[in-house]
Structure 1
Amino acid sequence: MTVRARNSHKEIHLAAHFPGVNSTTVWADPRSRSQIAFSSFEHLARTAERGLFDFFFLAEGLRLREHKGRIHDLDVVGRPESLTLLNALAAVTERIGLAATVNATFNEPYELARRLATLDHLSGGRAAWNVVTSSDAFTGENFRRGGYLDRADRYTRAAEFVAVARELWDSWTPDGLSRPFAHRDQHFDIAGEFTVPRSPQGHPVVIQAGDSGEGREFAARAADVIFTRHGTLEDGRAFYADVKARLAKYGRSADDLKIMPGVTVVLGDTAAEAQERAAEIRRQQVSPQNAILAVEQIWGTDLSSYDPDGPFPDFDPEPDPSLTQGRTRRGDSVATAEKWRALSRQKGLSIRQTVIEASGRQSFIGTPEAVAAELETFVRQDAADGFVLVPHLTPGGLDEFVDRVVPLLQERGAFRTEYRGATLRSHLGLTEPGGKG
């Protein structure tokens, strides 16, 4: 399939990610507020809607992470259940989409399809489901099925799960007729009648987050949006071309799947001021304690006796999966350790300084004008269709972007000046799926 040629008139899509519990959030900032209070979610969602964003996005945490047998400090505030929160937010917002991350491994199609269809009705067609999977037995201990699902099976179950949910949503016709459903396959054997009539946008929007070959293929087959972590122009263009090229085999066009990397933005009145602000944010994100914790996760051993302002261990990692529980592990620990030590030697950096430089999260740093131009370049050059902004502050982390960058994007003709429809599908430029016969 040929990916659409570069287009200077492509409109940028924007979404807001509630920072939640992770190493992006700066807890020590006096402007940081509760991760549980409804007012925090309401503020961020309303700010995103004021900025005409496509959707507001919540992550999911099904178990508190542990490190060395203790609850991970970043998880002590917990994380509320997404769909409950979004139903409440539907009452205090009007147009912005409401996206919940819900695990396809530890839920059942009938129940989840019903909850999502309910949100879609209550919000007037603004619901979205970010499909995630898990092969983590540690998380699975919270559920009856436990860690039964082999890693190789998680995407086959997820694909079947999404297909069943869509069968349920399509069991009601657009004119209000209900028909029995029946699905019998590898993972699900269910039959009956769905209780919720067809929702305002036909199906809630399906989002997928994943970078593996299986994840890309799943997105090409079943998703409307893919949430990625590719932050550079070169990596973004390669990912974009690869995923868009997979769509044709499923009878889909390039416009049927929106690619939206998660990004952070740091603004300043000058480029130098923005860089200094970004550096200070990284110092706050990577405290001395968090620097040692990051290295422990790579080395697989207790390094609490090491000085975060000192050198790295001189021995190679021996990965211990039980040291940190509930955290997704990426890459080869030995290769990462050598990369970090080489960076430390080359630049004369301490453990903490190296972790700050190696795990930097700011994607766009500069004046509002420079950031607006760079965002537009990414979309115009087919490195993304838009962006999911992940602020470092709760709940006011989007205020400056909405006030200073969005108007510039609008002046450039790169972003909407008003919502042109009522549903999330209309915001994203996605067609409504047709009902069955």
Structure 2
Amino acid sequence: MSRPRKEIHLAAHFPGVNNTTVWSDPAAGSHIEFDSFRHFARTAERARFDFLFLAEGLRLREQGGEIYDLDVMGRPDTFTVLAALSAVTDRLGLAGTINSTFNEPFEVARQFATLDHLSGGRAAWNVVTSWDAFTGENFRRGGFLAEADRYRRAERFLRAAWTLFDSWRGDEILADKASGRFLTAPGPGAFTHRDDHFDIAGHFPVPRSPQGRPVIFQAGDSNEGREFAAATADAIFSRHGTLEAGKAFYADVKGRLARYGRTPESLKVLPAATFVLGDTDEDARERAAVVRRQQVSGQTAIKLLEQVWNRDLSGYDPDGPLPEEDPRVGTDHIARGRASVRMTRDPLAVARQWRELAAEKNLSIRELMIEVGARQTFVGSPRTVADAIDELVQADASDGFILVPHLTPGGLDVFADTVVPLLQERGAFRTEYSGTTLREHLGLPTS
């Protein structure tokens, strides 16, 4: 007997500042004006997406002592933007990244509980850690934590926040109606939480929201990150968008749930995905090639190469060959505030691989950076893309996708108008919201 068709979960990531975004395109708009956020959110809600997602950067990245070129657009405060969007949307979930390394549980819990009430139960928290002392310089505590300690603090932070969310259970009496007097301690919102990171007690001022607790997202791909998600998260982001890699990640993370008394349905796996659409597959491939060149200008190509070579390469021609000198290995990196995976691995091995690829295909620096950094997950006609998304979800390579368009704010429109109807026709995606909270959209129980 074949199993029922899985319902696809779709979300939209407001791209902000990264090397997916083509901010130089004439069709691109502001990354900070509210009209851009509003347009993007309303498109996602019109398409019946589960949620909109905002990333967060706590410090502008630097390279060679200067602000990195993709950060000049600015990074507005997550809570402020999501609260404003709650007033111009009705059903769309509102997910924000908030750091657990340089914040405190009471403040973050109060902000998320407030957002959850303002939105009628549509808030979500992407719990992240911060790895570098460069970011820590913005904060009084400063410094940084080793990876295991970061996740330990994040786990303690989240459990402290849960204590605060759960301190209002909905069955307390706020006042004695007969006497007209309010109850005294312990009363509503009373909490105590003590562990090796936090020692807090008091009264939490915000009652429980329609969905109980905000939905919890987690983005770690390391073993510690996957374990943290299995123990605590409602959804996990993933870098693995291909069939085989996606299935392996999906099986690994879902296989960890049982030891925490959880079922596979209690955690959604949602990779990020970019897309380029065309009237035909060939048209889409041609457009994708143009987009890739827009994403990687000559200047950007040099910056990306510097992140591996760990040297100032500004004197090199992006249309010329790779440097003959090897990457500089060491802990003093040319890029600051950017958790570059390539720089934390073996840069000499990466350089060898890139030299071999460049020689094989006769690639310049810019062409190589385009080749190794191609960021289009789905390229094709709307039907081709709809088929690919459905195939990956039904094959348990994911439960859906978080779409990252390359244009802000209108890049999501064509997907909403062409791909979504095709997914709806085959019964793989909702035609209307059946619930009001984000937990209902994701098929999660009220916590």
TM-score with structure 2 setting the length:
0.94
- Equivalent position amino acid for 1:123 in 2: S
CA deviation after TM superposition for structure 1 residue 315, in Å: 2.3
- Equivalent position amino acid for 1:208 in 2: Q
Of residues 80, 84, 87 in structure 2, which corresponds to 1:84? 80
Of residues 302, 325, 329 in structure 1, which corresponds to 2:336? 325
- Equivalent position amino acid for 2:13 in 1: H
- 8 Å CA contact 1:133–1:155 kept in 2: the answer is yes
1:360 maps onto 2:374 in alignment? yes
- Hey, what does 1:312 align to over in structure 2? 322
1:22 maps onto 2:18 in alignment? yes
- Equivalent position amino acid for 2:307 in 1: Q
CA deviation after TM superposition for structure 1 residue 176, in Å: 4.5
CA deviation after TM superposition for structure 1 residue 314, in Å: 1.7
1:219 maps onto 2:234 in alignment? no
- Hey, what does 1:61 align to over in structure 2? 57
- Hey, what does 1:265 align to over in structure 2? 275
Report Cα offsets for 1:385-413 as digits up to 9, x if no partner. 00000010000010000000000000011
* 1:11-410 equivalences in 2 (<5 Å): 11-176=7-172, 178-319=188-329, 321-330=332-341, 331-410=345-424
* 1:20 alignment partner, SS class: coil
- Equivalent position amino acid for 2:152 in 1: T
CA deviation after TM superposition for structure 1 residue 342, in Å: 1.1
- 8 Å CA contact 1:231–1:262 kept in 2: the answer is yes
- The 1-side partners of 2:172 and 2:84 are apart by 26
- Hey, what does 2:443 align to over in structure 1? 429
* 1:98 alignment partner, SS class: strand
CA deviation after TM superposition for structure 1 residue 6, in Å: 8.1
- Equivalent position amino acid for 1:399 in 2: D
Which of 165-174 and 400-409 deviates more? Answer: 165-174
- The 2-side partners of 1:195 and 1:292 are apart by 51
- 8 Å CA contact 1:7–1:381 kept in 2: the answer is no
Q: List alignment gaps of at least 5 residues for structure 1.
A: none
Which of 302-311 and 279-288 deviates more? Answer: 302-311
- Equivalent position amino acid for 2:83 in 1: N
- The 1-side partners of 2:60 and 2:189 are apart by 41
- The 2-side partners of 1:55 and 1:7 are apart by 26
- The 2-side partners of 1:398 and 1:301 are apart by 37
- The 2-side partners of 1:7 and 1:299 are apart by 50
Report Cα offsets for 1:71-116 as digits up to 9, x if no partner. 1111112110101110000000000000010000011001100000
- The 2-side partners of 1:394 and 1:376 are apart by 25
- The 2-side partners of 1:393 and 1:71 are apart by 22
- 8 Å CA contact 1:13–1:428 kept in 2: the answer is yes
- Equivalent position amino acid for 1:410 in 2: Q
Larger Rg: 2
- The 2-side partners of 1:217 and 1:310 are apart by 44
* 1:94 alignment partner, SS class: coil
- The 2-side partners of 1:363 and 1:311 are apart by 28
* 2:201 alignment partner, SS class: strand
Report Cα offsets for 1:241-289 as digits up to 9, x if no partner. 0000000000000000000000011111111100000010000000000
* 1:248 alignment partner, SS class: helix
- Equivalent position amino acid for 1:272 in 2: E
- 8 Å CA contact 2:241–2:272 kept in 1: the answer is yes
- Equivalent position amino acid for 1:126 in 2: R
Report Cα offsets for 1:288-326 as digits up to 9, x if no partner. 001111111100101111111111112221135331100
- Equivalent position amino acid for 1:91 in 2: A
- Hey, what does 2:184 align to over in structure 1? none
TM-score with structure 1 setting the length:
0.96
- Equivalent position amino acid for 2:103 in 1: N
* 1:101 alignment partner, SS class: strand
- 8 Å CA contact 2:189–2:207 kept in 1: the answer is no
The verdict on how the C-alpha distance between 1:333 and 1:269 changes in structure 2, with shifts beyond 3 A counting, is same
- The 1-side partners of 2:44 and 2:217 are apart by 18
- Equivalent position amino acid for 1:212 in 2: S
- The 2-side partners of 1:154 and 1:6 are apart by 43
- The count of residues paired between Structure 1 and Structure 2 equals 429
- 8 Å CA contact 2:164–2:189 kept in 1: the answer is no
CA deviation after TM superposition for structure 1 residue 336, in Å: 1.6
- The 2-side partners of 1:277 and 1:236 are apart by 26
- 8 Å CA contact 1:264–1:391 kept in 2: the answer is yes
- The 1-side partners of 2:436 and 2:107 are apart by 26
- The 1-side partners of 2:2 and 2:288 are apart by 31
- The 1-side partners of 2:73 and 2:419 are apart by 31
- Equivalent position amino acid for 2:317 in 1: D
- The 1-side partners of 2:353 and 2:170 are apart by 56
- Hey, what does 2:427 align to over in structure 1? 413
CA deviation after TM superposition for structure 1 residue 148, in Å: 4.1
Identity level (%): 64
